[in-house]
Chain A
């Protein structure tokens, strides 16, 4: 069965600092991988996704993520965080044979001025 772990419940960064949010998945083959962002009281917005090909994926709002098969990871990065990036971030995985994604529990990003 597919599973996804986001080890960090909260992450605090200063505005302008770089960011990396961790995501690890459990599945033998290469899954489909997603990152979503959720602002308070709103729905989830798709940031980026990886299906195959180049392991470095560019998304919206200046985010990128890198798929590392050897580490079963799909970490989200941003070189310079803005105060408006404060939100909840969810990693999701969809593996072969399933059509329903599994979501991580989310990481709450706090941005200090």
Chain B
């Protein structure tokens, strides 16, 4: 089955620790996106990538980093510089005008 997978489903971060969220797609889409979702705030764009080896900052990129070494993969690292990382993180890929989403990762701070 084609789709987008995110792992883990839940992730716990200790203070000062960097953590990486995985996003993989087998839809052969060029574009991939990371969003952060907080209650009542909708979706906020963190980073996006239109093609392999290229990515752009979104509206709230501070404290996050990404890489795009393979078409299928777009991992997001939440660094220790992100002081309020508790949120639900959504990965999406895009075919022409339409975005398709993964199941999400919930990040919690210990």
Task: Please report A residues at the B interface, Cβ cutoff 8 Å.
Answer: 9, 32, 34, 36, 41-46, 49, 51, 90, 92, 94, 99-101, 103-106
Contacts and interface: CB of A to CB of B under 8 A. Distances in A.
Chain B: number of interface residues, binned into ranges: 20 to 34
Given A42-B103, A42-B104, A43-B104, A103 B98 contact: no
Interface string B37-52: 0001111010010100
Interface of B: 4, 6, 31, 33, 40-43, 45, 48, 50, 88, 90, 92, 94, 97-104, 106
Contact of B101 (A43, A49, A94, A106): A43
A32 B94 CA distance: 14
B43 A100 contact: no
Given A34-B98, A43-B101, A46-B98, A106 B45 contact: no
Contacts of A105: 40-42
Given A90-B43, A99-B50, A105-B41, A46 B103 contact: no
- Determine which residue in B45, B94, B99, B106 has the highest number of CB atoms from chain A within 10 A of its CB, and name it: B99
A99 B42 contact: no
Contacts of B45: 100
A99 B50 CA distance: 9
Contact of A103 (B31, B42, B50, B88): B42
